[in-house]
Structure 1
Amino acid sequence: MARPVPDPVRPGQESVWGYPRPPRVERERRRVQIDFGGTRIVDTDDVVRVLETSHPPVYYVPIAAFAVALTLGQGASFCEFKGAARYFDVHGGGGVVAERAAWNYPRPMPGYEVLHDRVAVYAGPMDAVILGGETVEAQPGGFYGGWVTSDLAGPFKGVPGSMGW
């Protein structure tokens, strides 16, 4: 399948089509806040992001940043770059649970060691995911965990017809 035509980049935006493959990990300066079950479960500025061609960034925060428990969820997956991932069920206020709503790489591959003891969260099941004061949107498609913000230009992997990108 042919690579899609990147959307125009407006001032203050970056194109996900300028992101590298293999992915790059970099420090993120914006604060991450996550609300679930009416409770703020994460509030931290200790954040890294992973940038990969055609994907909105995936943000990782320390496991220790969670004000609630994460419990090991069902299943696993494998990334050719980052390694084997495990999934977590996220617990929020009022006893709500989002199954497989977060993941991490307990033994990341070389070059991705900073992801050890960090967790990424799917935005969709949460009440709100806020990055630097902006409420994010979930990456389309349900499988990938990137966060879409106003400073990104797509199109983003996950939309219908993007499997071959």
Structure 2
Amino acid sequence: MPRVTPEPAGPGQESVWDYPRPPRVEPSNETVEVLLGGVVVARSQATYRVLETSHPPTYYLPRTAFREGSLRAVPGATWCEWKGQAAYYDLVVDGRVAERAAWTYPAPTPGFEVLLDHLAVMPALVDECTVDGERVLPQAGGFYGGWITSRVVGPFKGEAGTRGW
């Protein structure tokens, strides 16, 4: 594995290299929004952040934060070594569909129980995600669902050359 040199964190920033493995879940009162087709499909100030070494935070919003009718369950599942089996949803609004853009853990493993009835969203699959009004950059690679803001520094897993991290 190549040696990784973490970027220095400035005032008010966090280094993803200070996040733990296994990951930690922490509550957040930041305003989190998800937009699709110019419509806010989810908004909450009562979210959870999952923090894992080398990954930008992934935000989980309560199911009740999603616009009525915007979640459509789809077949298929994946397995997370930490959180358990994930189920997926399309996000749907006014004829726009973001396929498999959201996921949840119907039976989270011990230590992640607070994620029950919460969903994460893949920022790259919707028009925009924001945290306290700041537009999120999606985590590179198309596999991970991290939310990159000016608050976090990397380098981040998912970028070219990070497969072995």
Fold-level match, TM-score > 0.5? yes
Given that 1:27 and 1:48 are in contact with CA atoms closer than 8 Å, whether structure 2 keeps it comes out as yes
Structure 2 alignment gaps of length 5 or more: none
Deviations 1:61-113 (A, max 9, x none): 01111114211123211111100011111112x21101110101000000100
Aligned to 1:37: 37
Whether 1:84 and 2:94 are equivalent positions in the alignment is no
- Which contiguous aligned blocks of 4+ residues in structure 1 show a shift greater than 4 angstroms? none
Q: CA RMSD in A?
A: 1.0
Per-residue displacement from partner, 1:103-159 (whole Å, max 9, x unpaired)?
A: 010000001000010000011121211111111010011100000000111000000
Structure 2 match to 1:112: 112
Give runs of aligned pairs for residues 145-164 of structure 1, distance below 5 A.
Answer: 145-164=145-164
TM-score, length-scaled by structure 2: 0.96
Query: Partners in 2 of 1:155 and 1:47 — Cα distance?
Result: 24
TM-score by length of 1: 0.96
CA deviation vs aligned residue, 1:8-64 (integer Å, no higher than 9, x gap): 211111100000000000001201111101211112111010000000000000111
Residues 52/3 of structure 1: CA separation in 2 closer, same or farther (3 Å cut): farther
Q: How many residues align?
A: 164
Of stretches 23-32 and 125-134 in structure 1, the one that deviates more from structure 2 is 125-134
Q: How does 1:16-165 map to 2 (within 5 A)?
A: 16-67=16-67, 68-92=69-93, 94-165=94-165
The question of whether the paired residues in 2 share the 8 Å contact of 1:74 and 1:100 is answered with no
Gap runs ≥5 in structure 1: none
Question: 1:44 touches 1:61 (CA, 8 Å); kept in 2?
Answer: yes
Q: Distance in 2 between matches of 1:86 and 1:137?
A: 24
